[in-house]
A and B are shown apart, each in its own frame.
Chain A
Amino acid sequence: GAGVSQSPSNKVTEKGKDVELRCDPISGHTALYWYRQRLGQGLEFLIYFQGNSAPDKSGLPSDRFSAERTGESVSTLTIQRTQQEDSAVYLCASSLMSAGVSYEQYFGPGTRLTVT
């Protein structure tokens, strides 16, 4: 089976433009996570989906960031009015989910966003 895929792999955009980043999780994985990784840094949690619901949006850095998931599958992370500090690699991960059980997360290759 295919792993987690993300598109585009690279995105260069001008400051102030909106961007959409896409994640296709592993089929059957009900949990989906978005992380941000700045150059040389660790992974910063952004948002989590259980099915199509997002019970935890606590990591979204500002109201310019939003995400949705449809069909318990594809997720889109949207950044409006991009700023230079948004430049980073955005990673998506998916996992199985069951109450009380912690499963390994499988990461996609990431989208490298550069805001000029």
Chain B
Amino acid sequence: QQPVQSPQAVILREGEDAVINCSSSKALYSVHWYRQKHGEAPVFLMILLKGGEQKGHEKISASFNEKKQQSSLYLTASQLSYSGTYFCGTDWRAGGTSYGKLTFGQGTILTVHP
């Protein structure tokens, strides 16, 4: 039930845009996005909830298509600091349990060059 992320890697120049996709085979309650820099802990970016609510950063946007069980993260006017590995975590709830267990994708490596 691991979500599938695409692409696996992206190389950008500063100022360019990127889209990272996350697809699940299960109906989702929410999708979480995190960024991890090498040797550091993952850092929260955004949550997209079923029903359309979003919580996250100002400079990053994302979409959540509940019907298609997909989410996309949009990084615009990329900066050097955007470099890192991006993970989506999907929250699907079997039997109605509700505790936010996340199943993470394999990650998308984003590299931004000057």
Chain A residues near B (Cβ < 8 Å): 4, 31, 33, 35, 41-45, 48, 50, 55-56, 91, 95, 97, 99-110
Contact = CB atoms under 8 A, between A and B. Distances in A.
26 contacts: A31-B100, A33-B101, A41-B106, A42-B87, A42-B105, A42-B106, A42-B107, A43-B87, A45-B101, A45-B104, A55-B99, A95-B100, A97-B99, A102-B29, A102-B30, A102-B32, A102-B47, A102-B100, A103-B100, A104-B55, A105-B44, A105-B102, A107-B34, A107-B42, A107-B43, A108-B41
A92 B59 CA distance: 27
B103 interface: yes
A110 B1 CA distance: 25
Given A41-B106, A43-B87, A100 B42 contact: no
A41 B102 CA distance: 15
Given A102-B91, A104-B32, A109 B102 contact: no
A45 B67 CA distance: 25
Nearest to A43: B104
B17 to A, nearest CB: 24
Contacts of A50: 99
Given A31-B99, A42-B2, A48-B101, A106 B91 contact: no
Given A42-B106, A42-B107, A43-B42, A104 B99 contact: no
A98 B49 CA distance: 14
Contacts of B32: 102, 104-105
Interface of B: 2, 29-30, 32, 34, 40-44, 47, 49, 55, 87, 89, 91, 97-107
A41 B32 CA distance: 17
A87 to B, nearest CB: 16
B41 A97 contact: no
* Pairs A-B, 5 closest by C-beta atoms: A107-B41, A102-B30, A104-B44, A43-B104, A42-B104
